[in-house]
Amino acid sequence: MATKPTTIDEYLATVPENQLELVNALLATIRENADPAFEEGLQYGMPAFFLPHCAYPAGYHCDPKQPLPFASVAARKGSVSLYLFCMYCDEDEVVRFREDWKATGNRLDMGKSCIRVKKLERVPLDVVGATVARITAKKFIAAYEKVIPATRRKPAKKTTKRTATKRTA
């Protein structure tokens, strides 16, 4: 049985050769433009950039044990997915990104924050880089907290053993 990658290098070793240049170019663009507060590693099985618990203790509201996701890249069967969660909570950033991408003349295949791409030459890396650079950790946290209610951003609970208590009549 194959083991799942535990490092970015291990992940990259599994990427098909025809997608490797695109994946590496996207990762390099994010790496070069992201606020230094973001860390790089594997998250949800793909190379990712995230805000660690030391910078944002509440973590990701969907799974507080996970650091707050910022951006990630994944090789899929027929394309490469660029996840820019950093835009998910800021509709103005989404609009600007769409406009900037389309202004390059390249087709944009995008969901809420997932961009599907197939060829490096059709990816305006300058648009990706400018978007990532604009969204600092501070700006990202502010947008995230504006959209995600505080009641859903509680830090992960520490597990403790429950002890039975005797009832007295």
What distance in Å separates the CA atoms of residue 25 and residue 71, rounded to the nearest whole number? 14
- Asked whether residue 45 is assigned to any structural domain, the reply reads yes
Q: For residue 74, give every residue at least 6 positions away whose Cβ sits within 8 Å of its Cβ, in sequence order, or none.
A: 45, 46, 47, 80, 81, 83
Q: Does residue 69 lie in a domain region?
A: yes
pLDDT tens-digit series, residues 84-124: 999 988 999 999 999 999 999 999 999 987 999 999 999 99
Q: pLDDT, tens digit, for every residue of 122-153?
A: 999 999 999 999 999 999 999 999 988 765 55
Q: What is the pLDDT of residues 33-83, one digit of tens each?
A: 999 999 999 999 999 999 999 999 999 999 999 999 999 999 999 899 999
Count: domains in the chain: 1
Residue 30's pLDDT band (cuts 50, 70, 90): very high
Kindly give the interhelix angle for 91-103 and 125-134, rounded to the nearest 10 degrees.
160
- Beta partners for 40? 49
What is the span of the domain harbouring residue 38? Answer: 8-152
Residue 160, domain member (yes or no): no
Encoded amino acid at 17, one letter: E
Whether residue 163 lies inside any domain: the answer is no
CATH classification of the domain holding 77? 3.90.1150.200
